[in-house]
Amino acid sequence: MTAPADTRHWQVTSAAEELVSAAVTIGDQAEWMLGEKDLRHLAVIKAAIAEAKEVLTAIEKDIDPDLAALMDDQVVEVDEFRLERRGGGKRTSWKSLSLWQDMCLRSRFDPETGEELDPASAREQLIEMATACVPFTASLGWRTTALGYHGFNPDEYCETAPAPVRVEVVRMAEGVQR
């Protein structure tokens, strides 16, 4: 590495550390302002947090595609960081009734042998498939990984469109198995 590159790398590391330090300081200041019941300065802090999040989110969205392009694989480890590429497809307009009907039909058969199951076993398999593939929460979005596990191609039951690629970066703790 050349001297200018070393300097630039040090500047990036330093700026990243300063960003985290500033966030901690803002948190401390907010706590103090809460104790003082200082509405004006709490509003200043809240507005600054919102503005900083907006700027940081824009930067993150800008660098994610380039970061993903530099990765040799879906998951990469660089020094103490684990990077994982995410995204790639956005699914909408699910054909839930068709998918549910196919799931009910498929649950009647043993996935390994193809033999028809007795009604109690088929019902048990349907419940297992449904709870794995449908989160019974407010969103009720299909779980595509679980659908694939049960032999369904999620893309056959919805419209797909490209989604922005994201890269999740996690700092690994020392001594953690990789």
The pLDDT tens digits of the residues spanning 139-164 come to 778 999 999 999 999 999 998 888 88
**Under the phi-then-psi rule, with left for phi > 0, alpha for psi from -120 to 50, and beta for the rest, what region is 114?**
left
- Residue 92 pLDDT more than 90? no
Range 94-123 average pLDDT: 94
For residues 9 and 46, state if they share a domain.
yes
- Residue 47 pLDDT more than 70? yes
Q: How far apart are CA 94 and CA 103, in angstroms?
A: 14
For residues 40 and 99, state if they share a domain.
no
For residues 9 and 61, state if they share a domain.
yes
**Residue-level pLDDT at 178:** 46
- Residue 18 pLDDT more than 50? yes
Total structural domains in the chain? 2
Domain assignment present for 168 = no
Domain assignment present for 16 = yes
Q: How far apart are CA 134 and CA 131, in angstroms?
A: 6
pLDDT confidence band for 3 (50 / 70 / 90):
low
Give 177 or 7, the one with higher predicted confidence.
7
**Residue-level pLDDT at 176:** 54
- Residue 111 pLDDT more than 50? yes
For residues 12 and 66, state if they share a domain.
yes
Q: Which of 70, 85, 102 is the last residue of a domain?
A: 70
Range 74-99 average pLDDT: 90
**Average pLDDT value for the chain:** 89
Domain assignment present for 176 = no
pLDDT confidence band for 56 (50 / 70 / 90):
very high
Domain assignment present for 53 = yes
Range of the domain at 128: 94-157
